[in-house]
Amino acid sequence: METTTMAKPENIGAAAQARQSTDTFPKLLQEHARVRGDRPAMREKDLGIWQTWTWREIAAEVQALACGFAALGLARGDRVAIIGDNRPRLYWTIAAAQCLGAIPLPMYQDSVAEEMVFVLQDAGVKLAVVEDQEQVDKLLEIHDRLPNLEHVVYDDPRGMRHYNQPFLHAAAEVLGSGRIYHDEHPEFFQGQVDGGKGEDLAIMLYTSGTTGNPKGVAHTYNSMIITARNSVQMEGLTDQMEGLTDQEEVLAYLPMAWVGDNLFSYAQSMVAGFCVSCPESSETVMTDMREIGPTYYFAPPRVYENLLTQVTIRMEDASPIKRWMFNYFMDHAKKVGVKIVDKQPVPFMDWLGYQLGNFLVYGPIKNVLGFSRIKLAYTAGEAIGPELFDFYRALNINIKQLYGSTEAYVMVCVQPNGQVKPDTVGTPVPGVEVKIDDNGEVIFKGPGVFHSYWNRPDATAETMTPDGWVLTGDAGFFDDDGHLKIIDRAKDVGKFIDGSMFAPKYIENKLKFFPYIKEVVAFGDKRENACAFINIDLSAVGSWAEKRGLAYTGYTDLAGQDAVYELIRECVEKVNADLAADPRLGNSQIKRFLILHKELDADDGELTRTRKVRRRFIADKYGVLIDALYADVNHCLIETQVKFEDGRVGMVRADLKIAEAKRYPRIAQSAA
Partner 1 sequence: MNPNRKIGDVILKAENISMSFGGVKALTNISLEVREHEVLSIIGPNGAGKSSMLNVINGVYHPQEGKVTYKGRTRDKMEPHLAAKQGIARTFQNIALFKGMSVLDNIMTGRNLKMHTNFLQQAWYWGRTQREEIKNRKVVEEIIDFLEIQHVRKTPVGRLPYGLQKRVELGRALAAEPTLLLLDEPMAGMNVEEKQDMCRFILDVNDEFGTTIVLIEHDMGVVMDISDRVVVLDYGKKIGDGIPEEVRQNPAVIAAYLGTSH
Binding residues for partner 1, per CB under 8 A? Answer: 45-48, 158-159, 161-162, 280-281, 283-284, 287, 644-646, 648
Nearest distance, CB of residue 135 and partner 1, angstroms = 15
Comparison of 77 and 647: residue with beta carbon closer to partner 1: 647
Say if residue 4 is exposed, middle or buried (CB neighbours under 10 Å; 0-12, 13-18, 19+).
Answer: exposed
Residue 168's contacts (CB-CB under 8 Å, 6 or more residues apart) are: 136, 151, 152, 153, 154, 160
Question: What type of residue is 140?
Answer: L
SS3 589: coil
**Hey, what's the torsion of the CAs at 135, 140, 141, 147, to 10 degrees?**
120
Nearest distance, CB of residue 129 and partner 1, angstroms = 21
Strands 216-220 vs 127-130: parallel, antiparallel or unpaired: unpaired
Length of the chain: 672
Distances (CA, A) of 283 to 132, 286, 614, 634, 647: 17, 8, 27, 41, 21
What is the rounded CA–CA span in Å between residue 87 and residue 252?
9
Comparison of 283 and 467: residue with beta carbon closer to partner 1: 283
Comparison of 160 and 338: residue with beta carbon closer to partner 1: 160
Nearest distance, CB of residue 320 and partner 1, angstroms = 22
Among candidate residues 446, 443, 442, the one with its CA nearest the CA of residue 431: 446
Contact 271, 232 (CB under 8 A): yes
Comparison of 45 and 512: residue with beta carbon closer to partner 1: 45
Contact 394, 334 (CB under 8 A): yes
SS3 391: helix
Question: What type of residue is 146?
Answer: L
Nearest distance, CB of residue 646 and partner 1, angstroms = 6
Among candidate residues 430, 454, 432, 452, the one with its CA nearest the CA of residue 442: 432
Bridge partners (DSSP) listed for residue 413: 403, 428
Comparison of 281 and 355: residue with beta carbon closer to partner 1: 281
Say if residue 164 is exposed, middle or buried (CB neighbours under 10 Å; 0-12, 13-18, 19+).
Answer: exposed
Contact 260, 406 (CB under 8 A): no
Q: What's the gap between Cα 324 and its chain centre?
A: 35
> Which run of H or of E encompasses 510?
helix 504-512
Contact 612, 473 (CB under 8 A): no
Q: Tell whether the torsion through CA atoms of 384, 386, 392 and 396 is positive or negative.
A: positive
SS3 186: coil
Q: Tell whether the torsion through CA atoms of 46, 50, 51 and 56 is positive or negative.
A: positive
What is the rounded CA–CA span in Å between residue 558 and residue 535?
11
Comparison of 159 and 191: residue with beta carbon closer to partner 1: 159
Nearest distance, CB of residue 649 and partner 1, angstroms = 12
Q: Tell whether the torsion through CA atoms of 297, 299, 305 and 311 is positive or negative.
A: negative
Comparison of 254 and 361: residue with beta carbon closer to partner 1: 254
Comparison of 121 and 284: residue with beta carbon closer to partner 1: 284
Comparison of 46 and 546: residue with beta carbon closer to partner 1: 46
Nearest distance, CB of residue 527 and partner 1, angstroms = 40
Comparison of 165 and 439: residue with beta carbon closer to partner 1: 165
Strands 452-453 vs 216-220: parallel, antiparallel or unpaired: antiparallel
Nearest distance, CB of residue 47 and partner 1, angstroms = 4
Nearest distance, CB of residue 159 and partner 1, angstroms = 6
What is the rounded CA–CA span in Å between residue 210 and residue 376?
30
Comparison of 37 and 293: residue with beta carbon closer to partner 1: 293
Q: What angle do CA 21, 27, 28 make, to 5 degrees?
A: 95
Contact 200, 24 (CB under 8 A): yes
Contact 444, 465 (CB under 8 A): no
Comparison of 161 and 343: residue with beta carbon closer to partner 1: 161
Query: Mind spelling out the 3-state secondary structure of 395-440?
Result: CCCCEEEEEEEHHHCEEEEECCCCCCCCCCCCEECCCCEEEECCCC
Nearest distance, CB of residue 161 and partner 1, angstroms = 7
Comparison of 158 and 547: residue with beta carbon closer to partner 1: 158
Comparison of 78 and 132: residue with beta carbon closer to partner 1: 132
Nearest distance, CB of residue 134 and partner 1, angstroms = 10
Nearest distance, CB of residue 49 and partner 1, angstroms = 8
Comparison of 457 and 554: residue with beta carbon closer to partner 1: 554
Comparison of 168 and 471: residue with beta carbon closer to partner 1: 168
Nearest distance, CB of residue 551 and partner 1, angstroms = 19
